[in-house]
Amino acid sequence: MLSKIYSVSKKEFRQISRDKRSLMIIFVLPVFLLTLFGYAITLDVNVIRLGILDKDRSETSREFINSLNGSPYFSILANIDSEKEINELLDKGIVQCVVSVPVNFSGDLALKRNVSVQFLIDGVDANTATIILNYVNAATGSFSQNIAKEFLALKGVKLYQPLSIEPQFWYNKDLNTTQFFVPGLVAMILIIISVILTSISLVKEKETGTIEQITVSPVSSLELIFGKIIPYLIISLLIAVSVLLMAYVLFGITVKGSYLFLFAGTVCYLLATLSMGVFISAISDSQQVAFMISQLASQLPTVILSGFIFPIESMPVPIQILSYISPAKYYIIILRDILLKGSGPEAFKEQMLYLLIFAAVFITISTVKIKKAKSL
């Protein structure tokens, strides 16, 4: 059995080395996808474009505006003279937020009255709008605290704070969303490459007519499947290593956990994705059909149903149930546990088991399908 699998694998390696398109996918596409999506996909808001409408034009209002301008998160792009300019600046996207300082701002503060500063935020992108709101609330709160401290200091009263907050963020101290997205990118790149390559391999035999030679050979359907999977498993592991190295070079992603468990989890994931590719190859009659099915089966579930971008817990229950069909969902959990948290196998052993079950199911179905094709 092993000699037959070795013969099929050796033949597959030769075909891969002669196929320029496959070599292009193997060596160029992973690096391109990681670089493109790694820099493009981010939820961070580094600079908020502000417009300022200062109706008070006092020294205190200028201090407040300077406190915003001194923050690295804000950039004042426009000083507005009238409310008519606000709509134009927001409509054209020149600014993301307009700060409207009310009339008698300094006078009300001097009299210890409550003062409301209006923030007009572009809410088209709800996530960005929420981040901007949090930033401006924090900046306003800081200015308000400074005003209170100055007033109490003048009165000779020491400010007493019975409770202070000292937040500490584990695993991702800088709250960099790229750190969160890179494991999903690795999963997406591997599933796209592995599914596409294997889905085309068996169909290519059908189109060139060599499948008839295989069907009359003593090679069983299971031996044929493993002979097809092993070369792409080795190649996909090399791609995984190169992608992780690129993630370290470009984004500083390090492996905080065990390399052994990372290897084991990656093998389980690749077996699941490669078995999916073999199944697509078994049910397709042409390379074009196999390519289209593999694109749909690999990309859409990985982006939408894996937790790569959208939290699964926030989805409706039927969609959460549907997410169980995506092998990337389990691998992303494994990667985040190992790369970001440094967790041990007790945190992701169930995910590895699901991937092995996934692989066993698709290999079994593909074996039955190929057996039926050989008997015809």
**Would you say residue 163 lies in a domain?**
no
Residue 212, token pair as written in the block: 């008839």
Q: What pLDDT shows up at residue 334?
A: 94
User: What is the strand order of the sheet 97-101 is part of?
Assistant: 74-80, 48-54, 97-101, 118-121
268 and 333 together in one domain? yes
Rounded to an integer, the average pLDDT of 224-235 is 86
pLDDT surpasses 90 at 40:
no
Rounded to an integer, the average pLDDT of 210-229 is 73
Three-state DSSP class for 284? coil
CB 282 within 8 A of CB 201: no
Q: What pLDDT shows up at residue 151?
A: 56
59 and 198 together in one domain? no
Length reported for the chain: 376
Looking at per-residue pLDDT, the higher value among 175 and 161 belongs to 175
197 and 298 together in one domain? yes
Q: What is the pLDDT of residues 366-375, one digit of tens each?
A: 888 877 766 6
Neighbours of 153 (CB within 10 A): 11
**Would you say residue 164 lies in a domain?**
no
Rounded to an integer, the average pLDDT of 252-269 is 92
Among the candidates 93, 120, 155, a domain finishes at 155
Number of domains in the chain: 2
295 and 326 together in one domain? yes
> Taking the CA of residue 104 as centre, how many other CA atoms within 13 Å lie in the half-sphere pointing to its CB?
7
22 and 64 together in one domain? no
Q: 114-146 burial, b if ≥16 CB within 10 A, otherwise e?
A: ebeeeebbbeeeeebbebbeebbeebbeebeee
DSSP 49: E
| Rounded CA separation 114/250 (Å) | 48
Q: What is the pLDDT of residues 242-256, one digit of tens each?
A: 888 888 888 888 888
Rounded to an integer, the average pLDDT of 145-151 is 67
**Would you say residue 287 lies in a domain?**
yes
**Would you say residue 168 lies in a domain?**
no
Looking at per-residue pLDDT, the higher value among 211 and 222 belongs to 222
149 and 278 together in one domain? no
Which domain does 249 fall in, by range? 2-41+176-375
Q: What pLDDT shows up at residue 131?
A: 85
59 and 95 together in one domain? yes
301 and 336 together in one domain? yes
**Would you say residue 131 lies in a domain?**
yes
Rounded to an integer, the average pLDDT of 103-119 is 82
Q: What is the mean pLDDT of the chain?
A: 82
Residue 296, token pair as written in the block: 């749909």
209 and 246 together in one domain? yes
pTM score: 0.78
Three-state DSSP class for 368? helix
Q: What pLDDT shows up at residue 355?
A: 95
| Rounded CA separation 44/178 (Å) | 9
Looking at per-residue pLDDT, the higher value among 327 and 5 belongs to 327
Instruction: Identify the residue whose tokens are 């409301």.
Output: 116
| Rounded CA separation 255/235 (Å) | 21
Q: What pLDDT shows up at residue 259?
A: 93
Looking at per-residue pLDDT, the higher value among 210 and 121 belongs to 121
Neighbouring-strand partners of residue 79 = 52
pLDDT band at residue 52 under the 50/70/90 scheme: very high
Among the candidates 89, 123, 155, a domain finishes at 155
**Would you say residue 281 lies in a domain?**
yes
Long-range contacts (CB closer than 8 Å, 24 or more residues apart) made by 133-137: 135/45, 135/48, 135/71, 135/73, 135/74, 136/48, 136/68, 136/97, 136/99
Q: 74-90 burial, b if ≥16 CB within 10 A, otherwise e?
A: bebebebeeeebbeebb
Q: What pLDDT shows up at residue 165?
A: 54
**Would you say residue 161 lies in a domain?**
no
Neighbours of 185 (CB within 10 A): 26
Q: What pLDDT shows up at residue 338?
A: 92
Among the candidates 155, 184, 218, a domain finishes at 155
138 and 23 together in one domain? no
Rounded to an integer, the average pLDDT of 351-360 is 94
Lowest mean pLDDT among 25-29, 153-157, 322-326, 348-352: 153-157
CB 200 within 8 A of CB 287: yes
Rounded to an integer, the average pLDDT of 129-137 is 87
**Would you say residue 317 lies in a domain?**
yes
219 and 316 together in one domain? yes
DSSP 337: I
Q: What pLDDT shows up at residue 360?
A: 94
CATH number at residue 137: 3.40.1710.10
271 and 364 together in one domain? yes
